[in-house]
Amino acid sequence: VSAQCVLRVLIITEEMLSSSITVRLQNMSQEHFLSPLLTHFLEGVSAVLSVSPDDVFVFNVQPDADAGKVLNVSFSAALPGGQFFPSEALEEQLYLNRPRLNALAHME
């Protein structure tokens, strides 16, 4: 048995935190999200926002403490030029494009 591990170190800035959102994924475990859905999630979010998957930064993935089988995923997304999408814009774009995001991220 062999395995491959990719370690990605990301320094979280204050701007990234203030421009981030947390989505709640129903019936999702950390293990299932991180492998294999993380790549699909990044590709889906990047397609909805029209940015590269490398510009979507997931920095927290943890089960909701108050709700069973709910996974909280926190992330921010960079705009061209080094700025970040405001959290309100992220919320709006993802909300308006939920069906597309679910299909692209293979979450349905």
| Distance of alpha carbon 33 from the chain centroid | 10
| Rounded Cα distance, 90 and 75, in Å | 10
Q: What is the mean pLDDT of residues 41-47?
A: 95
Reply yes or no on whether the pLDDT at 29 is more than 70: yes
pLDDT band at 10 (very low <50, low <70, confident <90, very high): confident
Neighbour tally for 25: CB within 10 Å:
19
Task: Tell me which of 3-12, 28-37, 48-57, 78-87 is least confident.
Answer: 3-12
Helices in the chain by DSSP H: which ranges?
A: 14-18, 30-32, 38-49, 87-96, 98-104
Domain boundaries, the chain: 14-104
Q: How far is CA 69 from CA 3, 37, 51, 72, in A?
A: 27, 16, 30, 10
* Assigned CATH for 14-104: 3.30.70
Q: What is the pLDDT of residue 8?
A: 79
Give me the percent of the chain exceeding a pLDDT of 90.
Answer: 70
pLDDT band at 108 (very low <50, low <70, confident <90, very high): low
Position with higher pLDDT, 108 vs 5: 5
